[in-house]
Structure 1
């Protein structure tokens, strides 16, 4: 006889009415990786993996990992590709 297969999957709980990270209240608000994923170029899984590898800044409260709004903004700034502007120089004839 085999053991019954687990059918429950863990769905992350995302709180409602979260402040945006760029607002004054959101800069110091603690977002879970699932909540922060909507404002970053990464998925929640990628954020959790990068936190575990200590590749990005995060807040650890003794049990869970969080990202503040300021950390989300700096993460977006770090991974934003800026357009290349080539300077044109004139050649004197």
Structure 2
């Protein structure tokens, strides 16, 4: 008698999405209006796909809502980057003495 073999077709997990090939960068002219899935946008942002969805549903970040699906255009990805970019602190110039 032989040991049972693992099946090759495992059941698919619900909600898994593949990342498409040849996805343009958000900073390029082609990528400005390209619609990215949260998984694809997560490649360009410091957030996971799940966090991006939660932030979009809470209306914390710009996104495209097409029929209960969250998408991000290249302009959205760039706006999110700007939203979470912190500029270095600069000291204010000392006040002049009144004459």
Deviation at 1:13, TM superposition (A): 0.8
SS across alignment from 1:25? helix
Q: Which runs of 5+ in 1 are unaligned?
A: 1-6
Q: Which runs of 5+ in 2 are unaligned?
A: 1-10
User: Which residue pairs with 2:82 in the alignment?
Assistant: 77
- Superimposed CA distance per residue, residues 12-48 of structure 1 (whole angstroms, 9 cap, x where no aligned partner): 2110111000100100000000000011121111001
Aligned residues: 86
Normalised by the length of structure 2, the TM-score is 0.75
Deviation at 1:60, TM superposition (A): 1.8
Runs of 4+ aligned residues of structure 1 deviating over 4 Å after TM superposition are: none
Normalised by the length of structure 1, the TM-score is 0.80
1:18 aligns to 2:17 (yes or no): no
* RMSD of aligned Cα (Å): 2.0
Partners of 1:91 and 1:24 in 2: CA distance: 47
Q: Which of 1 and 2 has greater Rg? A: 2
